[in-house]
Amino acid sequence: MTDIDTTLPRAHGAAVLSAQMRATPEDFFVEELPGFEPSGEGEHLLLTIEKRGMNTAFAAKRIAQWAGVGEVAIGYAGLKDRHAVTRQRFSVHLPKRVAPDLAALQDDAAADDSLRVIEHHWHARKLPRGALAGNRFVLVLRDPQGDRDAVEARLQQMAARGVPNYFGEQRFGRDGDNVANARAMFAGRRVRREQRSLLLSAARSELFNRVLAARVLAGSWDQPLDGEVWMLDGSRSVFGPEGFDDTLAQRLAAFDIHPSGPLWGRGELRSRAAARAVELAALADDEALALRDGLEHAGLNQERRALRLRPAELAWRWLEDGALELAFVLPAGTYATVVLSELGQIRAAAGR
C-alpha cells in the first residue's frame, strides 16, 4: 500500500493534516455491510469471515482448500486489502450440503495473519461481486501533525458537503502502472484475460478522475452546470439533462442526487452544454484521446458515475496517545483513501 495520492486537487482547501496510516492491521478496520439476508437454504455456505493480515484472494484460496473444492466454487462481493482487519462474506458451493469442521478453518487470533468465522448460514446462490450495501471503516491515524481545530473544521466541511468521488490509487496499481499498461494494450500488446478487465477499469478511472479534477478546480464538483446529468444517490440510475429548478436544488442539498461524470465508452456523451464542454476539454490531450479510443474499440459503452461522495455517519475522536480515530460508512465502489486525502498527506507505514 503506497501513500495516498495527493496530486488530485482537494475540494476543501490546502492540507490541514499529515499522519501515518496502517501502522498495524488494527488501525485499518473495514466491515462489509451485507446487501441481502441469507435465504437459510440452498447449496452455498455463506461465511462471514474476520481476517487479519490477509487479502481476499488469499482467504478465498484458504477457504477452498478447507472445503476441498476448487477456487471457482468460492464467491465474494468485494476485494479487501492485506494490511487491515476486515470482515467480509464468502460463499462456498457445497452441493451435498455437508460443511467441513468450521474449527479447522480458524486460526489463533494472536497470529500475524489470521482468519476466523463470525457467522455461517446456508444460501441459495453464489455470492456475486458487488453484492454489498457498502463498507464501514474505523481508521486510526498515527503521529498526526496539524492544528486540531483546523482538522476538525475540515472534517465538519466533509460531513456537510461530502468529498470528490475520485477513484482511489488502488485502481491504478503501484506508480500508476495500470494506466501505462492499458495504453500498451490498446497499442497492441497482448495481455491475459484477467488482466484485461483490470486495465480497462484503470483507463476508465483515469479519464473520470481528470474530469472530476477539472470540476473541483472550477468549484463545480457539487454544483450544477448547464446540461448536467444527475445520478440518484446509492444507485446507478441517471436522468437529465434538464433545467435546474427548486426541486432539483432541494434534492441536491439533501444528497438525494449528485452531478455525474463519464465512464468512457462507445456512444455519445449524455451531458450537454457547459457540462459536456468541461468533460471534453478535460479529455482532449493525446493521452486521453488514446485511452478514449481504446475503450471504445474494447466495446465498453458510455456510463456515468457520481462526482460527489458523502461519508455517512462520519465521526472522529482524539485518542489518549494523540492519534486520530475516524469512523464512517461508504457505498460500494468508493474509496476510504479519497476521504483521507481531503485532510492532507497521509503516509502508509513502512512496508504497507
Q: What is the pLDDT of residue 351?
A: 54
Q: Which domains are seen in the chain, by residue range?
A: 36-130 (3.30.2350.20), 194-309 (3.30.2340.10)
- Give the distance from CA 254 to its chain's centroid: 22
Report the alpha-carbon distance of residue 120 to residue 113 in Å, rounded: 21
Contacts of residue 334, defined as CB under 8 A and 6 or more positions apart, other chains included, come to 165, 309
Report the alpha-carbon distance of residue 47 to residue 73 in Å, rounded: 13
Contacts of residue 152, defined as CB under 8 A and 6 or more positions apart, other chains included, come to 316
pTM of the entire predicted model: 0.92
pLDDT in tens, the chain (352 residues): 445 556 899 999 999 999 999 999 999 999 999 989 999 999 999 999 999 999 999 999 999 999 999 999 999 999 898 899 999 999 999 998 788 899 999 887 666 788 999 999 999 999 999 899 999 999 999 999 999 999 999 999 999 999 999 999 888 987 779 999 999 999 999 999 889 999 999 999 999 999 999 999 999 999 999 999 999 998 889 999 988 999 999 999 999 999 999 999 999 999 999 999 999 999 999 999 999 999 999 999 999 999 999 999 999 999 999 999 999 999 999 999 999 999 999 998 765 5
Q: What is the pLDDT of residue 110?
A: 62
Question: What string of H, E and C letters represents the secondary structure of the chain?
Answer: CCCCCCCCCCCCCCCCEEEEECCCHHHEEEEEEECCCCCCCCCEEEEEEEEECCCHHHHHHHHHHHHCCCHHHEEECCCCCCCCEEEEEEEEECCCCCCCCHHHHCCCCCCCCEEEEEEEEEECCCCCCCCEEEEEEEEEEEEEECCHHHHHHHHHHHHHHCEECCCCHHHCCHHHHHHHHHHHHHCCCCCCHHHHHHHHHHHHHHHHHHHHHHHHHHCCCCCCCCCCCEEECCCCCEECCCCCCHHHHHHHHCCCEEEEEEECCECCCCCCHHHHHHHHHHCCCHHHHHHHHHHHHCCCECEEEECEECCEEEEEEECCCCCEEEEEEECCCCCHHHHHHCCEEEEECCCC
Catalytic machinery residues: 81
Cell of 352: 504497507
Q: Which residues pair with 88 in a beta bridge?
A: 49
Contacts of residue 14, defined as CB under 8 A and 6 or more positions apart, other chains included, come to none
Please check whether residue 332 is in contact with residue 133, taking contact to mean a CB–CB distance below 8 angstroms: yes
